[in-house]
Amino acid sequence: MNNSRAQLAEKILSLKKERNAVILAHNYQLGEVQDIADFVGDSLELSQNAARTSADAIVFCGVHFMAETASILCPDKIVLLPVMEAGCPMANMIRAEDLRKMKKEHPGAVVVCYVNTTAEVKAESDICCTSANAVRLVQRLEAREIIFVPDQYLGHYVSTKTGKKMILWPGYCPTHVRIQAEDIHRLRKMYPRAEVMVHPECRPEVVAIADFVLSTGGMIRHAKSSQAAEIIVGTEIGMIYRLRKENPDKVFIPISEQAVCPNMKMITLENILWSMEDMSPQVKVAENIRLKAKKAVDRMIEVG
Protein backbone atom coordinates (compact mmCIF):
# COMPACT_ATOMS: atom_id res chain seq x y z
CA MET A 1 0.00 0.00 0.00
CA ASN A 2 1.51 3.40 -0.93
CA ASN A 3 1.71 6.30 1.49
CA SER A 4 -1.46 8.11 0.51
CA ARG A 5 -3.55 4.89 0.59
CA ALA A 6 -2.06 4.05 4.00
CA GLN A 7 -2.95 7.55 5.29
CA LEU A 8 -6.48 7.18 3.98
CA ALA A 9 -6.80 3.79 5.67
CA GLU A 10 -5.53 5.28 8.94
CA LYS A 11 -8.08 8.10 8.79
CA ILE A 12 -10.86 5.56 8.27
CA LEU A 13 -9.73 3.48 11.22
CA SER A 14 -9.52 6.46 13.57
CA LEU A 15 -12.94 7.81 12.51
CA LYS A 16 -14.33 4.31 12.91
CA LYS A 17 -13.31 4.38 16.59
CA GLU A 18 -14.78 7.85 17.09
CA ARG A 19 -18.10 6.77 15.59
CA ASN A 20 -18.09 3.36 17.29
CA ALA A 21 -18.63 1.84 13.86
CA VAL A 22 -17.95 -1.60 12.47
CA ILE A 23 -16.87 -2.10 8.84
CA LEU A 24 -18.32 -5.20 7.15
CA ALA A 25 -17.10 -6.12 3.67
CA HIS A 26 -18.24 -8.74 1.19
CA ASN A 27 -15.69 -11.14 -0.32
CA TYR A 28 -16.03 -9.37 -3.72
CA GLN A 29 -14.87 -5.99 -2.44
CA LEU A 30 -11.64 -4.39 -3.63
CA GLY A 31 -8.57 -5.72 -1.81
CA GLU A 32 -7.83 -2.44 -0.05
CA VAL A 33 -11.42 -2.31 1.22
CA GLN A 34 -11.19 -5.89 2.53
CA ASP A 35 -7.96 -4.94 4.28
CA ILE A 36 -9.54 -2.17 6.41
CA ALA A 37 -12.68 -4.16 7.26
CA ASP A 38 -13.40 -5.64 10.68
CA PHE A 39 -14.99 -8.61 9.02
CA VAL A 40 -14.99 -9.97 5.46
CA GLY A 41 -17.41 -12.70 4.46
CA ASP A 42 -20.32 -14.04 2.44
CA SER A 43 -23.91 -12.79 2.66
CA LEU A 44 -24.86 -15.14 5.50
CA GLU A 45 -21.75 -14.44 7.57
CA LEU A 46 -22.20 -10.68 7.10
CA SER A 47 -25.85 -10.85 8.22
CA GLN A 48 -24.89 -12.95 11.25
CA ASN A 49 -22.20 -10.43 12.10
CA ALA A 50 -24.53 -7.45 11.70
CA ALA A 51 -27.11 -9.17 13.93
CA ARG A 52 -24.65 -9.56 16.80
CA THR A 53 -22.58 -6.36 16.64
CA SER A 54 -22.59 -3.93 19.55
CA ALA A 55 -21.37 -1.03 17.38
CA ASP A 56 -23.58 2.05 16.91
CA ALA A 57 -23.04 2.15 13.16
CA ILE A 58 -22.44 -0.47 10.46
CA VAL A 59 -20.50 0.60 7.38
CA PHE A 60 -21.59 -1.89 4.75
CA CYS A 61 -19.07 -2.43 1.98
CA GLY A 62 -21.21 -4.44 -0.38
CA VAL A 63 -24.43 -3.88 -2.33
CA HIS A 64 -27.79 -2.39 -1.37
CA PHE A 65 -29.67 -5.58 -0.41
CA MET A 66 -26.90 -6.45 2.05
CA ALA A 67 -27.18 -3.09 3.80
CA GLU A 68 -30.97 -3.45 3.81
CA THR A 69 -30.67 -6.87 5.44
CA ALA A 70 -28.48 -5.33 8.15
CA SER A 71 -31.12 -2.61 8.65
CA ILE A 72 -33.86 -5.28 8.90
CA LEU A 73 -31.86 -7.05 11.61
CA CYS A 74 -30.65 -3.93 13.45
CA PRO A 75 -33.30 -1.21 13.29
CA ASP A 76 -31.63 0.85 16.04
CA LYS A 77 -28.28 1.06 14.30
CA ILE A 78 -27.14 3.43 11.61
CA VAL A 79 -26.39 1.47 8.44
CA LEU A 80 -24.16 3.26 5.97
CA LEU A 81 -23.78 2.18 2.34
CA PRO A 82 -20.97 4.42 1.03
CA VAL A 83 -22.50 4.50 -2.47
CA MET A 84 -26.30 4.36 -2.61
CA GLU A 85 -26.23 3.31 -6.28
CA ALA A 86 -24.30 0.10 -5.49
CA GLY A 87 -27.18 -2.27 -6.19
CA CYS A 88 -27.51 -5.89 -7.25
CA PRO A 89 -29.03 -6.15 -10.76
CA MET A 90 -30.39 -9.61 -9.95
CA ALA A 91 -32.19 -8.31 -6.85
CA ASN A 92 -33.84 -5.71 -9.06
CA MET A 93 -35.14 -8.34 -11.51
CA ILE A 94 -38.24 -9.01 -9.39
CA ARG A 95 -40.63 -6.56 -7.72
CA ALA A 96 -42.96 -7.22 -4.80
CA GLU A 97 -45.94 -6.95 -7.14
CA ASP A 98 -44.47 -9.67 -9.40
CA LEU A 99 -44.18 -11.96 -6.40
CA ARG A 100 -47.70 -11.14 -5.21
CA LYS A 101 -48.99 -12.17 -8.65
CA MET A 102 -47.00 -15.41 -8.51
CA LYS A 103 -48.42 -16.19 -5.06
CA LYS A 104 -51.96 -15.70 -6.36
CA GLU A 105 -51.25 -18.17 -9.16
CA HIS A 106 -49.91 -20.73 -6.66
CA PRO A 107 -51.97 -20.38 -3.49
CA GLY A 108 -50.54 -22.38 -0.63
CA ALA A 109 -47.00 -22.41 -2.02
CA VAL A 110 -44.16 -21.65 0.38
CA VAL A 111 -42.10 -18.68 -0.84
CA VAL A 112 -38.33 -18.88 -0.50
CA CYS A 113 -36.44 -15.75 -1.51
CA TYR A 114 -32.73 -15.48 -2.07
CA VAL A 115 -31.16 -12.82 0.16
CA ASN A 116 -30.37 -10.99 -3.12
CA THR A 117 -33.82 -9.33 -3.10
CA THR A 118 -35.28 -6.01 -2.02
CA ALA A 119 -36.78 -5.67 1.48
CA GLU A 120 -40.24 -5.43 -0.17
CA VAL A 121 -39.76 -8.83 -1.82
CA LYS A 122 -38.50 -10.31 1.47
CA ALA A 123 -41.65 -8.94 3.13
CA GLU A 124 -43.73 -11.04 0.69
CA SER A 125 -41.67 -14.19 1.39
CA ASP A 126 -41.87 -16.92 4.03
CA ILE A 127 -38.18 -17.75 4.25
CA CYS A 128 -35.01 -16.07 3.07
CA CYS A 129 -31.87 -18.01 2.17
CA THR A 130 -28.33 -17.38 1.00
CA SER A 131 -26.15 -19.46 -1.28
CA ALA A 132 -24.61 -20.98 1.88
CA ASN A 133 -27.82 -22.43 3.32
CA ALA A 134 -30.31 -22.66 0.42
CA VAL A 135 -30.03 -26.45 -0.03
CA ARG A 136 -30.23 -27.15 3.71
CA LEU A 137 -33.18 -24.86 4.12
CA VAL A 138 -35.26 -26.17 1.19
CA GLN A 139 -34.46 -29.76 2.16
CA ARG A 140 -36.30 -29.22 5.45
CA LEU A 141 -39.46 -27.81 3.86
CA GLU A 142 -42.46 -30.04 3.74
CA ALA A 143 -44.43 -27.84 1.36
CA ARG A 144 -46.30 -29.23 -1.62
CA GLU A 145 -45.24 -26.27 -3.76
CA ILE A 146 -42.20 -24.03 -3.40
CA ILE A 147 -41.78 -20.69 -5.14
CA PHE A 148 -38.13 -19.64 -5.39
CA VAL A 149 -37.09 -16.11 -6.40
CA PRO A 150 -35.27 -14.47 -8.12
CA ASP A 151 -32.25 -16.57 -9.18
CA GLN A 152 -33.31 -19.30 -11.63
CA TYR A 153 -29.84 -20.86 -11.55
CA LEU A 154 -29.53 -21.09 -7.78
CA GLY A 155 -33.13 -22.34 -7.78
CA HIS A 156 -32.30 -25.00 -10.37
CA TYR A 157 -29.27 -26.12 -8.37
CA VAL A 158 -31.28 -26.37 -5.12
CA SER A 159 -34.00 -28.28 -6.91
CA THR A 160 -31.53 -30.85 -8.31
CA LYS A 161 -29.82 -31.26 -4.90
CA THR A 162 -33.05 -31.66 -2.93
CA GLY A 163 -35.14 -33.43 -5.56
CA LYS A 164 -37.91 -30.88 -4.92
CA LYS A 165 -39.84 -29.33 -7.74
CA MET A 166 -39.65 -25.56 -7.50
CA ILE A 167 -41.43 -22.74 -9.30
CA LEU A 168 -38.66 -20.42 -10.45
CA TRP A 169 -38.48 -16.75 -11.41
CA PRO A 170 -36.27 -16.11 -14.47
CA GLY A 171 -33.72 -13.88 -12.69
CA TYR A 172 -29.97 -14.34 -12.97
CA CYS A 173 -26.69 -12.69 -12.03
CA PRO A 174 -25.23 -10.80 -15.02
CA THR A 175 -21.72 -11.37 -13.63
CA HIS A 176 -21.93 -15.14 -13.07
CA VAL A 177 -23.53 -15.87 -16.46
CA ARG A 178 -20.23 -14.79 -18.00
CA ILE A 179 -18.61 -17.94 -16.65
CA GLN A 180 -18.77 -20.57 -19.41
CA ALA A 181 -18.39 -24.35 -19.38
CA GLU A 182 -15.89 -24.14 -22.31
CA ASP A 183 -13.59 -22.05 -20.10
CA ILE A 184 -13.55 -24.84 -17.51
CA HIS A 185 -12.76 -27.46 -20.17
CA ARG A 186 -9.90 -25.29 -21.46
CA LEU A 187 -8.46 -24.64 -17.98
CA ARG A 188 -8.74 -28.31 -16.98
CA LYS A 189 -6.47 -29.16 -19.92
CA MET A 190 -3.95 -26.56 -18.74
CA TYR A 191 -4.18 -27.57 -15.05
CA PRO A 192 -5.13 -31.29 -15.06
CA ARG A 193 -4.65 -31.70 -11.30
CA ALA A 194 -6.63 -28.63 -10.30
CA GLU A 195 -9.95 -28.71 -8.47
CA VAL A 196 -12.83 -26.64 -9.82
CA MET A 197 -15.08 -24.72 -7.41
CA VAL A 198 -17.95 -22.54 -8.62
CA HIS A 199 -20.73 -20.41 -7.13
CA PRO A 200 -24.31 -21.75 -7.44
CA GLU A 201 -25.30 -18.56 -9.31
CA CYS A 202 -23.43 -19.99 -12.32
CA ARG A 203 -25.29 -21.55 -15.26
CA PRO A 204 -26.42 -25.19 -14.75
CA GLU A 205 -23.94 -26.52 -17.35
CA VAL A 206 -21.11 -24.88 -15.39
CA VAL A 207 -22.36 -26.17 -12.03
CA ALA A 208 -22.76 -29.68 -13.51
CA ILE A 209 -19.07 -30.04 -14.33
CA ALA A 210 -17.59 -28.41 -11.19
CA ASP A 211 -16.05 -30.44 -8.36
CA PHE A 212 -17.49 -28.17 -5.67
CA VAL A 213 -20.44 -25.75 -5.64
CA LEU A 214 -20.00 -23.29 -2.81
CA SER A 215 -20.95 -19.89 -1.42
CA THR A 216 -18.07 -17.42 -1.30
CA GLY A 217 -17.57 -18.22 2.40
CA GLY A 218 -17.63 -21.91 1.56
CA MET A 219 -14.91 -21.32 -1.04
CA ILE A 220 -12.69 -19.66 1.55
CA ARG A 221 -13.08 -22.62 3.93
CA HIS A 222 -12.65 -25.20 1.19
CA ALA A 223 -9.49 -23.56 -0.18
CA LYS A 224 -7.90 -23.73 3.29
CA SER A 225 -8.64 -27.39 3.90
CA SER A 226 -8.13 -28.71 0.35
CA GLN A 227 -5.09 -30.81 -0.52
CA ALA A 228 -5.09 -29.45 -4.07
CA ALA A 229 -2.23 -27.11 -4.97
CA GLU A 230 -4.22 -25.51 -7.81
CA ILE A 231 -7.84 -24.41 -7.68
CA ILE A 232 -9.90 -23.08 -10.59
CA VAL A 233 -12.40 -20.52 -9.30
CA GLY A 234 -15.78 -19.74 -10.85
CA THR A 235 -17.16 -16.62 -9.24
CA GLU A 236 -16.69 -12.85 -9.17
CA ILE A 237 -13.04 -11.93 -9.64
CA GLY A 238 -12.75 -10.14 -6.26
CA MET A 239 -12.66 -13.54 -4.53
CA ILE A 240 -9.19 -14.21 -5.87
CA TYR A 241 -7.65 -11.48 -3.68
CA ARG A 242 -8.67 -13.10 -0.38
CA LEU A 243 -8.01 -16.65 -1.59
CA ARG A 244 -4.44 -15.73 -2.54
CA LYS A 245 -3.85 -13.65 0.58
CA GLU A 246 -4.93 -16.46 2.93
CA ASN A 247 -3.34 -19.31 0.94
CA PRO A 248 -0.01 -18.03 -0.40
CA ASP A 249 1.18 -21.57 -1.11
CA LYS A 250 -1.71 -22.37 -3.48
CA VAL A 251 -2.47 -21.26 -7.03
CA PHE A 252 -5.92 -19.81 -7.79
CA ILE A 253 -7.02 -19.54 -11.40
CA PRO A 254 -10.11 -17.44 -12.18
CA ILE A 255 -12.36 -19.08 -14.80
CA SER A 256 -13.20 -15.70 -16.26
CA GLU A 257 -11.48 -12.35 -15.82
CA GLN A 258 -14.72 -10.87 -17.13
CA ALA A 259 -16.76 -12.00 -14.14
CA VAL A 260 -16.67 -8.57 -12.51
CA CYS A 261 -19.55 -7.11 -10.48
CA PRO A 262 -19.26 -3.36 -11.18
CA ASN A 263 -21.60 -2.56 -8.29
CA MET A 264 -19.35 -4.27 -5.77
CA LYS A 265 -16.45 -2.22 -7.11
CA MET A 266 -18.18 1.13 -6.51
CA ILE A 267 -17.07 1.12 -2.87
CA THR A 268 -13.64 2.72 -2.40
CA LEU A 269 -11.55 3.88 0.55
CA GLU A 270 -12.45 7.47 -0.39
CA ASN A 271 -16.20 7.02 -0.28
CA ILE A 272 -15.98 4.91 2.90
CA LEU A 273 -14.22 7.84 4.59
CA TRP A 274 -16.70 10.40 3.23
CA SER A 275 -19.68 8.35 4.31
CA MET A 276 -18.31 8.10 7.84
CA GLU A 277 -17.53 11.82 7.91
CA ASP A 278 -21.10 12.71 6.84
CA MET A 279 -22.79 9.65 8.38
CA SER A 280 -24.51 9.31 5.01
CA PRO A 281 -25.90 7.76 2.84
CA GLN A 282 -27.92 5.66 5.28
CA VAL A 283 -30.06 2.66 4.40
CA LYS A 284 -33.20 2.37 6.50
CA VAL A 285 -36.05 0.00 5.83
CA ALA A 286 -39.54 1.34 6.62
CA GLU A 287 -40.91 -0.29 9.79
CA ASN A 288 -44.01 -1.87 8.19
CA ILE A 289 -41.84 -3.61 5.56
CA ARG A 290 -39.09 -4.40 8.04
CA LEU A 291 -41.34 -6.30 10.43
CA LYS A 292 -42.65 -8.54 7.65
CA ALA A 293 -39.23 -9.04 6.05
CA LYS A 294 -37.65 -9.81 9.43
CA LYS A 295 -39.68 -13.00 9.82
CA ALA A 296 -38.11 -14.38 6.61
CA VAL A 297 -34.62 -13.13 7.49
CA ASP A 298 -34.81 -14.52 11.04
CA ARG A 299 -35.48 -17.97 9.61
CA MET A 300 -32.42 -17.59 7.38
CA ILE A 301 -30.27 -16.78 10.43
CA GLU A 302 -31.82 -19.62 12.50
CA VAL A 303 -30.98 -22.23 9.84
CA GLY A 304 -27.43 -20.82 9.75
Contact set with ligand 13P (CB under 6 A): 27, 42-43, 116, 130-131, 173, 199, 201, 215-216, 236
Residues comprising the chain, all counted: 304
Q: Which does 47 bind (CB under 5 to 8 A by kind): ligand 13P, ligand SF4, none?
A: none
For residue 116, the minimal CB distance to ligand 13P (Å) is 6
What is the number of alpha carbons within 13 Å of residue 295 lying toward its C-beta?
12
How far is CA 286 from its chain centroid?
22
H-helix segments, the chain: 3-19, 31-36, 43-52, 64-73, 96-105, 119-123, 134-139, 152-162, 181-190, 204-209, 216-225, 239-246, 269-278, 287-303
CA distance 219 to 18: 34
Stretch that binds ligand SF4, among 13-21, 74-82, 119-127, 169-177 (CB under 6 A): 169-177
Going across the sheet that includes 57-61, the strands are 39-41, 21-26, 57-61, 78-80
**Cβ-based nearer residue to ligand 13P, 28 or 289:** 28
For residue 108, the minimal CB distance to ligand 13P (Å) is 29
**Cβ-based nearer residue to ligand SF4, 109 or 216:** 216
| Contact pick of 40, 99, 113, 264 for ligand SF4 (by CB under 6 A) | 264
CA distance 57 to 59: 7
For position 116 contacting ligand SF4 by CB under 6 A, the verdict is yes
Q: Which does 68 bind (CB under 5 to 8 A by kind): ligand 13P, ligand SF4, none?
A: none
Q: Is 90 in contact with 64 (CB distance < 8 Å)?
A: no
Q: Residue 161: helix, strand or coil by DSSP?
A: helix
For position 63 contacting ligand SF4 by CB under 6 A, the verdict is yes
CA distance 294 to 281: 22
**Cβ-based nearer residue to ligand 13P, 215 or 256:** 215
| Contact pick of 82, 263, 273, 290 for ligand SF4 (by CB under 6 A) | 263
For position 67 contacting ligand SF4 by CB under 6 A, the verdict is no
**Cβ-based nearer residue to ligand SF4, 40 or 90:** 90
- Those residues whose C-beta lies under 8 Å from the C-beta of residue 269, and which sit 6 or more positions away, are 5, 8, 9, 12, 32, 33, 36
**Cβ-based nearer residue to ligand 13P, 183 or 236:** 236
**Cβ-based nearer residue to ligand 13P, 53 or 131:** 131
Q: Please list every residue from 187 through 206 that binds ligand SF4, using CB under 6 A.
A: 201
For position 266 contacting ligand SF4 by CB under 6 A, the verdict is no
**Cβ-based nearer residue to ligand SF4, 109 or 134:** 134
CA angle 247, 244, 9 (to 5 degrees): 115
| Contact pick of 128, 210, 236, 255 for ligand SF4 (by CB under 6 A) | 236
CA distance 164 to 143: 10
